[in-house]
Amino acid sequence: MSQSFALKWLKLSISILFVVHSCRIFAVTEDQFKVHGLSAFNQAQGKILQNWLTQGVNATRATLGVYPTPLSLYLYPKKSNQPVPWAYTKRDANGSVHFHVDTRFGLTKFVNDWTIYHELAHMALPYLGPEYRWLSEGFASFMQYQIMLQAGVLKGDLSENYHMKIAPHLRWFNSDLTAASIATRLMDNKQYPAAYWGSAYFFVLADNKLQQQHKISLPQLISLYQDCCRAQDHNLEQVMASLDKMIDDKLFAQLMDEFKNLPARELYPEVFSQ
């Protein structure tokens, strides 16, 4: 496949997806996601939670595409100082997303909270295994702001938000160790903000390269990936191979090789810029 043909195919596919999204995005039904745990809340609380989940799923679908399997979303009451104090994904069978929520907060607080966008973004890729937890969290961290932008709740522009989150952690990657080994160590030491946002830089680089070399953004590519490859991929190697095949390039394989083998200081800037 020539690069020009691949680019034309990508543009055509994106156009088709946008038409499909415009027809389906405002009508999320039970075959797209199912909520478990609403019986633990009263009717008014349940309505707020249902609206919040619907808006979150719609924004994620508009950004990353329609996932090949329905989402299973679980809710648990928990008093806290924030609307969603804890959330996580389970990656067994089709996978599920679990939210601990404090319904003393109103709908706006829930919609503006980043947690749902981060957790739903995880489900755009298959489970990558414990070795690549850093990459999975970096992906979800990068994508949460892309989805929040789509949802209309992102304060400031994308560059400002990435700068605010990534810049404080660049010091960890000013090293002759590889970026992958540093991110893994940060995860093991429970230094999660540094691990998550340091790893998100992988996807900042990937997005920049895609837009410069292939005129497509990473969210657009991931949206196409849902239709062609998400259901058949089961590990990192397959994901990277599928993404590279879609653009007729070795962009993702090469970037992963650099993160595994080059000194991190050669990949990360001393000062963040996008």
Q: Is the dihedral of CA 67, 93, 247, 222 positive or negative?
A: positive
* Contact yes or no for 90/98 (Cβ under 8 A): yes
Residues of the chain with pLDDT under 50: 1, 3, 5, 16-30
* Orientation of helix 133-151 relative to helix 115-122, angle to 10°: 130
Instruction: Provide CB contacts within 8 A for 103, sequence distance 6+.
Output: 41, 45, 48, 49, 77
- Give the global pTM: 0.89
Residue 214: predicted pLDDT = 97
Nearest CA to 224 out of 3, 18, 2 is that of 18
- What per-residue confidence (pLDDT) applies to 70? 87
Angle between helices 133-151 and 158-166 (to 10 degrees): 150
Mean pLDDT of the chain: 90
- For residue 108, what are the contacts with CB-CB under 8 A and spacing of at least 6? none
- pLDDT reported for residue 21: 43
Question: By CB neighbour count within 10 A (0-12 exposed, 13-18 middle, 19+ buried), where does 190 fall?
Answer: exposed
Rounded to whole angstroms, the Cα distance separating 134 from 116 reads 19
